[in-house]
Amino acid sequence: MDPNVFDDVLRTVRAFVRDEVVPAEDEIERTDAIPERLRATAAAMGLFGFALPEEHGGLGLSMTEDVRLAMELGHTVPAFRSMFGTNNGIAGQVIVKHGTEEQQQRWLPRLAAGEAIASFALTEDGAGSDPSSVRTKAVRDGDHYVLSGAKRFITNAPHADVLVVFARTGEDAHGGISVFLVETGLDGVRVGPPNAKMGQAGAHTAEVFFDDVRVPASALVGGQEGTGFRAAMSSLTRGRLHIAAICAGLAGRIVEESVRFAAEAEQGGQPIGRFQLVQALLAESQAEYYAGRSMVLEAAREYDSGADTRLAPSCAKLFCSEMVSRVADRAVQVHGGSGYMRGVPVERFYRDSRVFRIYEGTSEIQKLIIAKQLLRQFA
């Protein structure tokens, strides 16, 4: 995108988030929903397709532009970004990178416009960060496949029009996994009730069940069996860098809340920000926020150049997801008893931030990826 145009997009999103989304945070928490007025504005701004190709109605942002936008989106409750995150990220990118021309033309314009929602249906009971353990099956039957199995913790499943479903079509751990575009209206597709979660009110996950669902062979992504593992890994890699940027943006917001409270709250007749131990908490959080932000920007630059599309995203996701939890924990400490009360932003962010260390590859999985890449490079 033209730099001047992107700067305009960034300014518009920044103003929208701060002026309209942030004031609605308590409403989102109370109702467990994103207000329709915010959803409509986000769609009109192109946020449902910022990472999708321009030829299909998206904004076509590079990875560097993606993370800069994500850090602005991270300034508010993560549920707002989650509303359109799967369209741009792990679900949409499978169609962008691996879908047939027909699949792209059918779904990407609708996803970019916010007219349809896509969900990434990979995780199962016993198969999370390691897709090779997927047990959902897809059996060829003439011009159709018959899907049977169940998925869990599927983001946006209660609202999805199409599910990007990973299913086993062969016995090989990696080569036996394929991916299908399954419309939620098909007979045998059942979406469970939204999960009751620790945090991120307004972002909905649910179980999805496939009871002998017949899908046309044309729903096989790329028209070829056995490409599911590669599709999942490539989509998750970009998604991990995006999540790292969201974590950095949220950390910045939490630091702001902490500094404001320390400057205004008094103890013994003076602002608590004058106490050196409080200053130490603020300083540690600011330093970590700066490190995370810098890491994300550099990792995105390397991703765009092709220099590193695997190691750096995992490093950024590991560091930033752990970092934002530490920043949130310090923020609660700075706020003291107030930080433990519902209705205070840092209490909400403390709960919201915890899941970043789990989804799209746990911290432990990121450590394994990083170590294996280092050893492979040495070899």
Question: 69: closest CA among 119, 6, 23?
Answer: 6
Report the residue count for the chain: 379
Considering 115, 266, 360, 364, which one is annotated as catalytic? 360
Catalytic site residue 360? yes
SS (H, E, C) 127-169: ECCCHHHCCCEEEEECCEEEEEEEEEEEECHHHCCEEEEEEEC
What 106-111 contacts at long range (C-beta under 8 Å, 24+ apart), as own/partner pairs, is 107/162, 107/181, 108/49, 108/52, 108/53, 108/56, 108/57, 108/58, 109/56, 109/57, 110/161, 111/48, 111/49, 111/52, 111/87
Please state, in angstroms and rounded to a whole number, the distance separating the CA atoms of residues 181 and 95: 9
Cα–chain-centroid distance for residue 121? 14
Whole-number Å distance between alpha carbons of 245 and 251: 10
- Chain centre to alpha carbon of residue 214: 29
Residues annotated as part of the active site: 360
